[in-house]
Amino acid sequence: MTRKKPCLVGENKCDVIRDVPAACADKDAAVAFMEKQRWADDPCCPLCGGVDVYQMKDRKSGSREANYRWRCRDCGQKYTVRTGTVMAQTRMPLRYWCHAFWRVCSSKKSVSAKQIQRETGLSYKSALFLLHRVRFAMADMKGVKLSGTVEVDEIYIGGKPRYKGQSQRGRGTRKQPVIGMVERSGRVRTCVIPDVTGKTLKDAVQQHVRKASRIITDEWPAYRKAVAGFDGGHSVVNHSMNEYVRGDVTTNTIESFFAILKRGLIGVYHNVSRKYLQRYLDEFEFRYNTRKVDDGERTVAAIQGAIGKRLMYREPEERAA
Ligand SMILES: [Zn+2]
């Protein structure tokens, strides 16, 4: 049995921009588009990896079977392009998936469910459902740790405080803390965290950053414990002393990412429920980590990311309207 590697990101970038309008408008074009992004010219069975596969035909007309199924001669199973992806177990037509992937990947600051609702005529719940799954496709599950020089900082997400006396900003607020870690000129990673104690910060940093790295933070005392033991050492920039850059010691990279994130969350999403915050973070992370490729390549990367992901928690809405 031969195993087929998925096509590489970038191979189809010109085609993506050319093919997207048709794929968003037409059923057959949408299936062809998704199959091309998933398998390029070498279709394989998502269940066993076999390459001896064929499209099932309708006996009478000789054209493709109504559900666009494939069959694998190695394992005898039937499947579709949705099998084993975030698009499985839903009846949402593929042209809407194409639309959502493209819109999220080609916008600088993402797109709201309201916007998708207006553009497609889907219900708000269905639009939200699509966007949540597209974001899930963007989540980086490979878990390759960050390395080199890594800036670490936290941000506090949430609407304006409702009561007087809670209006504190930054550390000490009741807003939701999020830790961000970024490689200099590399990848970013963010995690929703319950608090900003040394233990919590330590767990997060150890989970996402290689031990050989050098860590840069501000002077928040909890970081001293949290990042002890990293081989590259710990440099501190002292914001309370109005120090922002000392040689190469600065947390400007992570702070600019947080600025984009904050603007995005306020501008597009207004307020984000805590339950789904990590998915919004995944989206901004993905956009940052694919900042050097064009919209077509980013769309392919997101669709490739949809493969092999099963949903791990409940959706706000399971059925398409
Ligand atoms: Zn098979």
Report pLDDT digits (tens) over 292-318.
Answer: 999 989 999 999 888 877 655 445 443
Please determine, looking at this structure, whether the domain spanning 149-294 carries the CATH number 1.20.58.100.
Answer: no
Exposure class string for 162-184: b at 16+ Cβ within 10 A, else e: eeeeeeeeeeeeebebbbbbbbe
Ligand 1 centroid to 308 CA: how many Å? 15
Query: Is residue 71 classed exposed, middle or buried when 0-12, 13-18 and 19+ CB atoms within 10 A define those classes?
Result: middle
Q: Residue 246 gets which letter from DSSP?
A: B
Each residue's pLDDT tens digit, 241-281? 888 888 889 999 999 999 999 888 876 666 677 778 888 99
In angstroms, the CA 127 to CA 105 distance is: 16
Ligand 1 centroid to 190 CA: how many Å? 37
The dihedrals phi and psi of 218, each to the nearest 5 degrees, come to -90, -165
Return the structure tokens found at 193. 């965290």
Is the predicted pLDDT of residue 199 greater than 90, yes or no? yes
Q: Residue 183 gets which letter from DSSP?
A: E
Q: What is the pTM of this model?
A: 0.85
Ligand 1 centroid to 315 CA: how many Å? 29
CATH 3.30.420.10-classified regions of the chain: 149-294
- What is the predicted pLDDT for the residue at 215? 96
User: How distant, in Å, are the alpha carbons of 84, 144, 162, 266 from that of 64?
Assistant: 21, 40, 57, 45
Return the structure tokens found at 299. 């769309």
* Element of type H or E holding 31: helix 27-39
Ligand 1 centroid to 50 CA: how many Å? 5
Is the predicted pLDDT of residue 123 greater than 80, yes or no? yes
Please identify every residue whose CB atom is under 5 Å from ligand 1, which is an ion. Answer: 45, 47-48, 50, 72, 74-75
